[in-house]
Structure 1
Amino acid sequence: MSSPAQQHAQDAARFTDLVESASAEDWRRPSPVAEWAAVDVVKHLVEWSRGFLKGAGIDLPALDVDADPAEAWRRHVTDIQAIVDDPAGRILSNPHLGELPVDAAIDQFYTSDVWMHSWDLAKALGREPELGEQRCAAALAGMAPIEQMLRDSGQFGAAVAVADDAPAQDRLMAFIGRDPAWRP
């Protein structure tokens, strides 16, 4: 099992590779998330997490993702990695989650979001993502029992029908409301 710092470094590196491979024109490409272009995937990860961290007393400066998505992402990854590398005993307090060590909160909510949204960005860029069958199966097993709560949160779209024997990655993406066969 990886530490929060190791997991973030791994998942952020995969996402960074995608970001670095994008051309200026690629940022306008549609993504599998309704009404989002590729740049919006990056913007989502940067903006919500910076707001989320205010619950730990961490006030990171806003980044202009639209002006330079790759530069904003690189700065953001550096900021988040510094926090998980040295959480300094900080506790994140959130009215919906209670109190959690900041590195655990980042790992549970943000790093997993980076991992799953790497699928969206890869698809938007015309690439085939590979999230890992075991990790996808484990994530799906953890989410299935709380499906109604997840759906009620508004964070996921309606489930997409896929075969019961579809690969775990396809079943996970379908569970969170993505069409595994989506193409730009």
Structure 2
Amino acid sequence: MSENERVARAAEPLSKIIRTIAPDRLADPTPCSDFDVRGLLNHLLHWGPSLIGAAHKQEIAPGAEVDLTEGDWAAALDTQLTDLATAWRDPDAWQGVTRMGGPTDLPASLVGGMIVGELIVHGWDLARALGTTVSWDDDLLRYVHSEVAATADQGRAMGIYGPEIPVAPDAPLLDRILGLTGRDPA
């Protein structure tokens, strides 16, 4: 699997989910304890500009909260996901160091891996909140599992992940990723 396609492959199922969200579902809870559907969509919209900027090695401040009762937020988020995938298709996006809306230089490959994981985990959060299913290919899930496994302790220390949920070692890859991030796949 080419690293240049990872973000696009992670974003595609999420984009399909976003197009199905009815306004009356925005207050529904998600497995991500910090967000309901509205909050999770705003989280994605908020960080999108910074993550696109990171691919271009440009420091861009996160976006403002969006009023999801006005305008076509689904189209805006879909466009943002397309722009994110396009930006990370550039092989240079994965090289060197970059920043994610802050002053700290991080390896670009680490940031790219975090983005792929974020799209998959939050895509699952939204799918679960809406009572639908979502899937990604095993190559992409193997990559994300290795990325999350390598950074899970740091993610928990930073408050990004909750306490690990035990999942059987032979469980599906997505379930093992979710367990590492503090989500109960069941």
Q: TM-score, normalised by structure 1?
A: 0.76
Higher mean displacement: 129-138 or 81-90: 81-90
| Corresponding residue of 1:130 | 135
SS across alignment from 1:28: coil
Alpha-carbon spacing, 1:165–1:110, altered in 2? closer, same or farther (3 Å): closer
CA gap of 1:164–1:81, structure 2 versus 1, over 3 A, is closer
Q: Which runs of 5+ in 2 are unaligned?
A: none
Contact 2:113–2:147 (Cα < 8 Å) also in 1: no
Q: Helix, strand or coil for the counterpart of 2:19?
A: helix
Structure 1's 28 and 158: CA in aligned 2 closer, same or farther, altered over 3 A?
A: same
The superposition leaves residues 154-180 of structure 1 with CA deviations (integer Å, 9 ceiling, x where unpaired) of: 110111123333222212111101111
Cα gap change, 1:105 to 1:46, in 2 (>3 Å): farther
Q: Distance in 2 between matches of 1:63 and 1:44?
A: 8
CA contact (8 A) 1:42 1:65 kept: no
User: Does structure 1 retain, via aligned residues, the 8 Å contact 2:11–2:81?
Assistant: yes
Contact 1:92 1:105 in 2 (8 A): no
In the superposition, the TM-score normalised over structure 2's length comes to 0.75
CA contact (8 A) 1:18 1:122 kept: yes
| Number of residue equivalences | 177
Rounded to whole Å, the distance in 1 between the matches of 2:175 and 2:40 is: 19
Give 2:66's aligned residue. Answer: 64
Larger mean CA deviation between 86-95 and 150-159 belongs to 86-95
2:146 alignment partner, one of 109, 130, 141: 141
Asked whether the equivalents of residues 18 and 78 of structure 2 are also in contact (C-alpha less than 8 Å), the reply is: no
**Whole-angstrom CA distance in 1 between matches of 2:169 and 2:86:** 41
CA RMSD of the aligned region, Å?
A: 3.1
Q: Percent identity?
A: 24
Runs of 4+ in 1 over 6 A off after TM superposition: 87-91
